[in-house]
Chain A
């Protein structure tokens, strides 16, 4: 099994995405190669560390400042497809 396949199995295990066959493949790879074991442990520690970062409450005034910033008029319902498309690109839909 190629390194990239073993890596993919480790990540998929972390994400809870392994099926039975893949689980068996990973188990074999772990038994056969201590480096794979070490990498798996490292990546599990990274993910556990990420999970230690808790969500933070936004500032109390944020909600009101959002509402205060809204324009008075309600967005109009009907727009042409082209207008919507142009606005969508401005909205950054295609950026990533």
Chain B
């Protein structure tokens, strides 16, 4: 029997080939999930939210408002209802995500200067469509009012170059850096794909290590590696690393090549992806060292992997979380990968600003190897705890 680093690698390749699970979980699943997110979020924004208008006025002015509402890209007036309670019932049935009420005598009151109120309702039970309807309704409500002032001023003889600054003396000019389309794809695809890849790497690393212990093959594994735990781990991880690199670079190619996400420095992303994969493997190693039994280690990896989607601050910012919870977000490679994506790719800042994140990714394998002695002990006396 050959021993050393390369025989350990060959042994691992044989193990990977012997079970469909490896092919499924290291290639088929990650690629499908990546394609799922890219395909699902491809439109960027769920425009044309189904909404309703309740026109109680039936005047030329209220009809103009309805037409304006329909003309925005954000909302689609799919229903014209007769009362507030009809509209609420429609919300409860899930047919619409918001509605706009034009009160009775709206035109008469507006012209008479009685300040009628336009009311609109947005169903935030569904956050994204609710927010989009809010934006669409608010724009129309404000521009309607402004348009009336403008025509009044014009009829009083004011030139139009004076009316515009009158209506809006201060204009906020927003510059959403890197994502001027407000595309959900640009912000959700990377974060969720990194998260999924991290989850799968951690799970599969734990699986490949603890199955040795479950099946009692761990002494053989260690023997092939001349009894050195570090060699055994390196030899086991190398073939996995190559497969994950293919998946990771495929993800980057899809994001920056196919989808044309903004990318400041592709090389920073390529390097970060490799370090990220090593970091996740190291986390898997850590979990297996802490509890060298398949069930508990897998649960630990899954719990951390799934929770990391939440506390890594992709959707809700880490800065707003409770301190004792926010601190966990720094314990995962995924957080640094996400920050590198933000700074090097999306914001196109110089690499200097991402230096700490790269250093953190490099620190993961170093820190996680500290418990190797524990794993070695478990590998020498494999005990399976069901």
A binds B: no
Chain B residues at the A interface, C-beta cutoff of 8 Å: none
